[in-house]
Amino acid sequence: MSLDYSITFACYNASQYTKWCIESLAKAGTPLNRVVVVDNASTDDTFEYLSSIELGGRILNRSNLACGVAWNQGALHQQAEWTIVMNNDLLFHPGWIDGMISAAIKNNLKVVSPAMIEGALDYDYEAFALEACSKMGDVLRTPAAHAVCLCIHRSVFQEVGYFRATPNLLGFEDAIFFNDLKNHGVPRGITGAAWLHHFGSVTQSLMKQEKGLKSNDVLVKHNDRTLMQQSWLERKLSRYNRKRNERLWREQELAQHSMTLHGERVDGTFVWR
Q: How many whole angstroms separate alpha carbon 211 and alpha carbon 87?
A: 21
The tens digit of pLDDT for each residue in 77-129 reads 999 999 999 999 999 999 999 999 999 999 999 999 999 999 999 999 999 99
What was the pLDDT predicted at 28?
Answer: 98
What was the pLDDT predicted at 185?
Answer: 98
Q: Is beta strand 140-141 parallel, antiparallel or unpaired with respect to 188-198?
A: antiparallel
Domain that holds residue 72: 5-272
Count: domains in the chain: 1
The tens digit of pLDDT for each residue in 174-188 reads 999 999 999 999 999
Q: What is the DSSP string of the chain?
A: ----EEEEEEE-S-HHHHHHHHHHHHHTT--GGGEEEEE---SSSHHHHHHTS--SEEEE-SS--HHHHHHHHHHHHS--SEEEEE-SSEE--TTHHHHHHHHHHHTT-SEEEEEEEEE---S-HHHHHHHHHHHHTT-EE-S---TTEEEEEHHHHHHT------GGGSS-HHHHHHHHHHHTT--EEEEEEEEEEE---HHHHHHHHHTT--TTS-SS---HHHHTT--HHHHHHHHHHHHHHHHHHHHHHHHHHSS-SEEEEETTEEEE-
What residue ranges of the chain have pLDDT lower than 70? 1, 202-211, 213, 215-223
Q: Is beta strand 57-60 parallel, antiparallel or unpaired with respect to 35-39?
A: parallel
Q: Which long-range contacts (CB under 8 A, 24 or more apart) does 41-45 make?
A: 41/12, 42/11, 42/12, 42/13, 42/15, 43/13, 44/13, 44/14, 44/15, 45/15
What was the pLDDT predicted at 10?
Answer: 97
What was the pLDDT predicted at 95?
Answer: 98
What was the pLDDT predicted at 170?
Answer: 77
Is residue 63 exposed (0-12), middle (13-18) or buried (19+ Cβ within 10 Å)?
exposed
Q: How many whole angstroms separate alpha carbon 240 and alpha carbon 243?
A: 5
Closest CA to 96 of 123, 120, 128, 73: 128
What was the pLDDT predicted at 197?
Answer: 98
Looking up residue 36, the CATH number of its domain turns out to be 3.90.550.10
Taking every pair of Cα atoms in the chain, the longest distance, rounded to a whole number of angstroms, is 51
